[in-house]
Amino acid sequence: MIDWSPVLLSLRVGLSALAVIVVSGTLAARAMTRRHFPGKDVVDGLLVLPLVLPPVVTGFLLLVLLGRNGPVGRLMENAFGVRLLFTLHAAVLAAVVVAFPLMYQSARAAFQSVDARLEDAARTLGAGEARVFLTVTLPLAWPGLVAGTVLSFARSLGEFGATVMVAGNIPGQTTTVPLAIFFLADAGDLRAAGLYALVISALSMVMVVALNVWTRRRRPGWMRR
């Protein structure tokens, strides 16, 4: 039998990161499609940067920021007495930073694809901005938001490079599946590493198929035609 704790840890990290990513990615994408301000391109670049940076580099930057002498690390330690590095929190943070751009980009493309005149039409019919967003923008951007959610969840499940920098490899505490696979294979235990690889492949496959079936079943009539 294999030790299931890396699988459970990976799911915990993935789901926690997803909750943060879906909310922040959607809000950031909404703000960036509607507002115009100087330096917008730079902000956009920063938000997408973790997508093109090697994860190890992202992890290194996080390590510097979160470390005992880093600005964030010192603040957390002094203000709350919390140490972030080499905990599950750090693994979640690494997953959030690395997977965020996938949600952000999908959501931004989805919002941009919504015809602005439909939102204008809703306004002339007496809808305030919140109602316009909930009844027009969100339903029309829905497929892109779902795609972004799945992509970013898959990305956080498989996150390795940044995680190993900031969360380390503490069995039962921070050893997620990708870390377990690396260290088992490194130690020559190819059988155990292979089992984990199988588990995570099966998990990803089930997710993708379930999503495909769900979107086809749930697809509203106006899209089906």
Partner 1 sequence: MLTVRARKRLPHFTLEVDFEVRDEVLVLFGPSGAGKTMTLRMIAGLERPDGGEIRLGERVLYAREPRAWVPPRARRCGFVFQDAALFPHLDVSRNVLYGAADRSADARERLGVLLGRFRIGHLADRWPSQLSGGEVQRVALARALMADPDVLLLDEPFTSLDAEARLAAQDVVLQAHETWRIPFVFVTHDRAEAERMGDRMLFLREGRQVAAPEPR
Sequence-ordered list of residues with C-beta below 8 angstroms from that of 93, at least 6 positions apart, any chain: 62, 66, 84, 166
Q: Cα 39 vs. chain centroid, distance in angstroms?
A: 25
- Binding residue for partner 1 (CB under 8 A) from 19, 71, 115, 202? 115
Q: Is 160 helix (H, G, I), strand (E, B) or coil?
A: coil
- Binding residue for partner 1 (CB under 8 A) from 45, 139, 172, 194? 139
Size of the site for partner 1 (CB under 8 A): 20
Angle between helices 40-52 and 88-112 (to 10 degrees): 130
| 140 scored as a contact of partner 1 (CB under 8 A) | yes
Binding mask 203-222 for partner 1 (x = CB under 8 A): -----------------xxx
Angle between helices 88-112 and 55-66 (to 10 degrees): 120
Q: Which of residues 177-206 bind partner 1 (CB under 8 A)?
A: none
Applying CB under 8 A, the span of 45-53, 66-74, 123-131, 147-155 interacting with partner 1 comes to 123-131
Angle between helices 5-34 and 190-218 (to 10 degrees): 40
Residue 191 or 217: which CB sits closer to partner 1? Answer: 217
Residues that bind partner 1 (CB under 8 A): 115, 117-118, 120-128, 135-136, 139-140, 220-222, 225
